[in-house]
Amino acid sequence: MTRLFPLLFLFFSGCLFSQLKFDTLSHRRYKTTITPAILVGYHYAGDAKDNTETFRASQMHIIELVVGRIIDYGGNHGAAKVYYAGSDFIINNRHGFFMAPKIGVSSSAGISMGAEVQFQTNFQKVIPRAMPYLGFGGSGGKLTVGYNFRLLKAENFPINTLQIGLTMPIKRFKEKS
């Protein structure tokens, strides 16, 4: 329980003292910008298991391509929030190629946290998964560690127990205020 206290403290302090549209401690107002963007990422999952979780299905290399809406909050302690939709393209040594269309949200102010829902498919079956993640990030980019949870009991795709990834915006479009 004592190890859980610092994580709970960080989570609740982030919820209670989140970034506003303007910094209340400063006499100047800071601008909030909303920009559509294309984000690209690479993720690696080293320990993939099948639904019986009795053998290793080998490594997964995941290329992420998403379109997102980045909301940057200015201020002395800037933050960003990203809503995105896109797809993961997954190459697995044992099961070949499959993809995972997904939607998600992340927020970052030095520490990044978020979640996404994926629909992994090999074009014959579709398996829904939920993946919360935690890491470091800012201004739309993030370095995260996540875990895929199954949303169905029976499935025969490998499930990666730990996923490490880096995502960055490569193209930002015209800014809206």
Q: Domain residues of the chain, as ranges?
A: 31-172
- Which pLDDT does position 102 carry in this prediction? 95
- Which pLDDT does position 79 carry in this prediction? 86
Q: Round to whole Å and give the CA distance between 114 and 101.
A: 17
H or E stretch covering 5: helix 4-16
Tell me the residue ranges of DSSP E strands in 50-162.
56-73, 79-92, 96-121, 126-138, 141-146, 149-150, 159-160
- Cβ contacts of 127-133, under 8 Å, gap ≥ 24: 127/151, 127/152, 127/155, 127/157, 128/152, 129/100, 129/159, 131/163, 133/106, 133/163, 133/165
Q: For residue 145, give the amino acid letter.
A: V
Poorest-pLDDT segment among 88-97, 99-108, 117-126, 143-152 = 88-97
3-class secondary structure, 150 = strand
Longest dimension (CA), the chain: 60
- Which pLDDT does position 144 carry in this prediction? 93
H or E stretch covering 122: none
- Which pLDDT does position 85 carry in this prediction? 97
Identify which of 13-22, 110-119, 138-147 has the greatest average pLDDT.
110-119
- What is the pTM for the complete model shown? 0.75
Mean pLDDT in residue range 54-67: 77
- Which pLDDT does position 158 carry in this prediction? 64
Identify which of 13-27, 64-78, 83-97, 98-112 has the greatest average pLDDT.
98-112
**Domain 31-172 classified CATH 2.40.160?**
yes
Place of tokens 């995260």: 144
CB atoms closer than 10 angstroms to residue 138: 15
pLDDT of 32 over the 90 cut:
no
